[in-house]
Chains A and B, each alone.
Chain A
Amino acid sequence: MAARRRLLLLIRVLCLAAAWSCAGPVLAEQPPAPRPDEEPVIEPDVAQSHARLAKIDTEDFELGAFAGLLSIEDFGTNAVYGARAAYHVTELLFLEGTYGYSKAGDTLYETLTPGVRLLSSQDREYTYYDIALGINVLPGESYFGSGWAFTNALYLTGGIGGTSFAGDDYFTTSFGVGYRLLFNDWLALHVDARDHIFKRDLFGENKTTNNLEFSGGLTVFF
């Protein structure tokens, strides 16, 4: 008896399952939803603005040369020449790369003791590079007579770099202050004072040297 009831239950479940599987396709055959492109379209009544990006010559780069005096600690004050390139990031900040060349003079010991040479001529060559971040402070105008006005700015720089001197290379930090005077929109005059600081142990004693540079130069913006 129980076996028959179980058989009937099984048949009922099978019939239900068959009905459900037949109903599936029927449900799927409902009319499709209207396609979006058949719906009425409302044209927006808005005037289009064709904003274009204007192309204007950007002049954020500065390139130039300088000459001045470099006081190499213990080796006197000598002429220095160099080149500089800068990229102006904002009206306040700029990145600057500098390369300079100088040749060291005699130490006091060499001057007082004729015939003694502590360094060869080649080792007296002093070259440096410096990568600095600069900030423009105190912008203003300078006047020349009554008819001329030039924009200018004072700027502070701090940088890192390398110095080659006396047959060795030294890690160098630099700090400086400069003055930039623009003659017109592309030509600028620079007056710079900068301290190049590095440690060297040339005469057996490891010492921090301050090598002060004072220079003037011209740059062009492009």
Chain B
Amino acid sequence: MVLLWLLLPWAGAAQAAEIGGRVKVTAPFIELHTGPGAGYPIFYVVDRDHWMTIEERRTDWFRVTTEAGKDGWVSLEQIERTVDADGEPTRFKRMTLADFTGRRWEMGALYGVLDDVDLISVYGGYAITRNLSLELWLQQALGKFSHSYLVDLGLVHQMFPEWRVSPFFGIGGGVIHTRTSASLVESSDTTDETLHVGAGVRAYLTRRFMLRAEYKEYVVLTSRNENEEIEKWQLGVAFFF
């Protein structure tokens, strides 16, 4: 539940306050689809010099209403072949590699293994500079005999932020809470501090989307005489704002 609701505060960030704008078609014609996708059929065309109003955006599709009262969806490529009331071309924000490089916030979900145990992670990161970002990780490891919650706070440094496939390394610390399975006779709860180092790679895919793969090595500062070392491998998806 906690993991899911973490997603929600980010939702507001994508909402733009201003709505709409009347635009005039400069292309010979513009196609209106019934839904936001190339797979939805074209049901109407708006001719050159006709006006329409842009109502909303969903991914790279725009819902418009025409003067004739038609309501349909136009692709990003076609909506940019219009001008506004001042005769200036309509342009929309396209997410590119430059936005990936200059991102501020990112969040994602990854699957991994923590010493052969299945691990699910969500994380949020904030870029302090183009190279350095601060990350908070919430993770659940679900093993046959025990399950753990891990919270990590770390600093991640990427050497080449402008690369499409950008390697990074990081250090940090956190806590691990482990509970042995209820089916075992002696069940126990332990909470220990951890330190970690790691390395990985982010790969920009499209729009706000990226792949992320990484390796982390943890040292668990146990109350016993010996510290424990754990390895983590992960692969997942993330998006940025």
Which residues on A are within 8 Å of B, measured CB to CB?
49-61, 63, 83, 85, 87-93, 95, 97-99, 127, 129, 131, 133, 136, 138-141, 149, 151, 153, 160-162, 166-171, 182, 185, 199, 201-202, 206, 221-222
Inter-chain CA distance A58–B15, complex, in Å, is 6
**Min CB distance, A101 to chain B, in Å?**
9
User: Does A222 contact B34, Cβ atoms closer than 8 Å?
Assistant: no
Give the size category of B's interface with A.
35 or more
Inter-chain CA distance A222–B58, complex, in Å, is 9
User: Does B3 contact A57, Cβ atoms closer than 8 Å?
Assistant: no
Interface status of B126 (Cβ within 8 A of chain A): no
- Starting from the known contacts A87-B239, A91-B36, A127-B1, 18 additional A-B residue pairs (CB-CB under 8 Å) come to A51-B89, A54-B21, A56-B16, A56-B18, A56-B55, A56-B92, A57-B15, A58-B14, A58-B16, A89-B206, A89-B208, A89-B239, A131-B3, A140-B39, A153-B37, A162-B140, A168-B183, A222-B15
Inter-chain CA distance A200–B55, complex, in Å, is 50
Q: Which residues of chain B have C-beta atoms less than 8 A from A88's C-beta?
A: 58-59
Q: Which residues of chain B have C-beta atoms less than 8 A from A90's C-beta?
A: 59-60, 206-207, 209
* Of B4-12, B44-52, B98-106, the one touching chain A: B4-12
Given A89-B208, A139-B35, A160-B111, residue A169 in contact with residue B11 (CB < 8 A):
no
* Residues from 104 to 146 in B contacting A, C-beta threshold 8 Å: 109, 111, 118, 120, 122, 140, 142, 144
Q: Which residues of chain B have C-beta atoms less than 8 A from A83's C-beta?
A: 4
Inter-chain CA distance A54–B88, complex, in Å, is 11
- B111 nearest CB neighbor, chain A only: A160
Interface status of B190 (Cβ within 8 A of chain A): no
Main secondary structure of the interface of A (DSSP, over half): strand
Q: Which residues of chain A have C-beta atoms less than 8 A from B15's C-beta?
A: 57-58, 222
A-B contact count (CB 8 A): 159
User: Does B14 contact A56, Cβ atoms closer than 8 Å?
Assistant: no
Given A57-B16, A89-B207, A168-B182, residue A140 in contact with residue B88 (CB < 8 A):
no
Interface centre among A161, A199, A222 (most CB of B within 10 A): A161
Inter-chain CA distance A53–B207, complex, in Å, is 16
Q: Which residues of chain A have C-beta atoms less than 8 A from B40's C-beta?
A: 139-141, 151
Given A131-B120, A168-B181, residue A185 in contact with residue B63 (CB < 8 A):
yes
Given A129-B4, A169-B140, residue A53 in contact with residue B19 (CB < 8 A):
no
User: Does A131 contact B109, Cβ atoms closer than 8 Å?
Assistant: yes
Given A54-B91, A168-B183, residue A59 in contact with residue B56 (CB < 8 A):
yes
User: Does B92 contact A54, Cβ atoms closer than 8 Å?
Assistant: yes
* Residues from 197 to 241 in B contacting A, C-beta threshold 8 Å: 206-209, 237, 239
User: Does B59 contact A89, Cβ atoms closer than 8 Å?
Assistant: yes
Ordered by A's residue number, 16 sampled pairs between the chains whose C-beta atoms are within 8 Å are: A50-B88, A51-B89, A53-B93, A57-B19, A59-B57, A87-B239, A88-B59, A89-B206, A89-B239, A98-B4, A99-B4, A129-B1, A131-B120, A138-B39, A149-B34, A151-B35
